[in-house]
Structure 1
Amino acid sequence: MSAAEKRTAEDRLPGDPTKAQLIDRIIRVDHAGEYGAKRIYEGQLAMLKGKPEAAVVRHMYEQELQHLKEFERLMVERRARPSALTPLWHVAGFALGAATALIGPKAAMACTVAVEEVIDEHYREQAEKLGADEKPLQATIERFRAEEVQHRDTGLAHGAEQAAAYPVLTSAIKAGSRLAIWLAERV
């Protein structure tokens, strides 16, 4: 049992979200993240037309579309509000995908690795916070987490670590991804 599950409503710490606020945040940030992933892959696909790597990216893109569709459904079902920063994710996601793909296919794969490593950690933390009464949402997050890990592994298998300035590139993308998560949870 996680620390969040052990804590009851009476012993919440100041600033801790209520259960309803936690669910709203989880759905909002995950919707924003899947929307951003969709845009990253659209940017990469636009720059990788005609290259063999486009088929690999397209497969990951199609999985992200399914994730996005599920979070759109959950937003309606759970009456969660979307991130007010969606227009930013629209532009920034495409720009990140296009820029990394312009550097080269390996840089595009490095982008995937960086983003998916952050998402793996993020989804794991979310699953731990959800209580026993949220098993369906927890199962959805765990299923998507497994697919995101597959995307990371695909990126590694397709030469991500061979990208120019891999440590610098992935560190910058990870920092941006963590900032985007923090913002999307709140705004």
Structure 2
Amino acid sequence: MSATRHYSLIDRLLIEAEHALATTLGNPPAERPNPAGLLPDAFLDEDERRHAAGLMRINHVGEVCAQALYFGQAAVARDERTREHLLVAAQEETDHLAWCADRLRELHDRPSLLNPLWYAGAYAIGVLAGLRGDGWNLGFVVETERQVEAHLDEHLESLPADDERSRAILRQMKDDEIRHADNALAAGARPLPAPIPQAMALASKVMKLVAYRV
């Protein structure tokens, strides 16, 4: 029988730093195949290419933030089942991160230059949410995923009509986000007080405006 390893504070800090570096500066691999698969890459004129790249950069930043948020929440989760729920969701968000990065390369563009800043801010929010207790921790997951679902719908409408590779990625991401929210609800998520969802939506709007270009 293997013994459960107990990490020291230094170990935990090093693990969190490794997550941060891999997410913001590395290229973590996806565990699942890219949903774009063998779909042909349509010709996009320069305006269409730049618009598609801006949208995919926003989604890449969203996945950087999701990684940070879930790892921050998991770091202070009190219940092992809640922690496991968060880490499983984080792995699927890693798939999203890799798919968005792949698509940005195909579009001859790059991720946001501010990814370390996005990660740090989202991680701090995740820790604060987690410290409120597991019910709020999971409630934060629900609200985050519902807002992500809404902006994915916007992007699916806004992408160039022929960009089916980006669209296939976003459709799979949307399905995953819906499932994450539903799972968090089933696990005991608590509704967040009214000011918090509005503040989250405002922060998301600022992120999208900046990440589209930077």
| Amino acid corresponding to residue 179 of structure 1 in structure 2 | V
Distance 1:154 1:179, change over 3 A: farther
Q: Deviations over 1:101-149 (max 9, x none)?
A: 1111111112212221221111111111224421121111011011111
Distance in 1 (CA, whole Å) between partners of 2:47 and 2:106 is 18
**C-alpha contact (below 8 Å) 1:107/1:166 kept by paired residues:** no
| Greater helix share, structure number | 1
Q: How does 1:134-149 map to 2 (within 5 A)?
A: 134-149=163-178
Q: Note the C-alpha offset of 1:59.
A: 1.3
Q: Deviations over 1:24-48 (max 9, x none)?
A: 1012111111111011111111112
Distance in 2 (CA, whole Å) between partners of 1:91 and 1:171 is 21
Task: Say if 2:116 is the partner of 1:87.
Answer: yes
Distance in 1 (CA, whole Å) between partners of 2:50 and 2:114 is 18
Q: How does 1:14-163 map to 2 (within 5 A)?
A: 18-48=47-77, 51-162=80-191
Q: CA RMSD in A?
A: 1.9
Q: How does 1:172-183 map to 2 (within 5 A)?
A: 172-183=199-210
Could you tell me which runs of 5 or more consecutive residues in structure 1 were left unpaired when the two chains were aligned.
1-8, 10-16
- Counterpart of 1:170 in structure 2 is 197
**C-alpha contact (below 8 Å) 1:38/1:61 kept by paired residues:** yes
| Amino acid corresponding to residue 134 of structure 2 in structure 1 | P
Answer with 68-77 or 48-57: which moved more: 48-57
Could you tell me which runs of 5 or more consecutive residues in structure 2 were left unpaired when the two chains were aligned.
1-44
Give the structure-1-normalised TM-score.
0.82
Distance in 2 (CA, whole Å) between partners of 1:170 and 1:109 is 14
Distance in 2 (CA, whole Å) between partners of 1:67 and 1:44 is 19
**How many residues get paired?**
170
Q: State percent identity of aligned pairs.
A: 26
Give the structure-2-normalised TM-score.
0.73
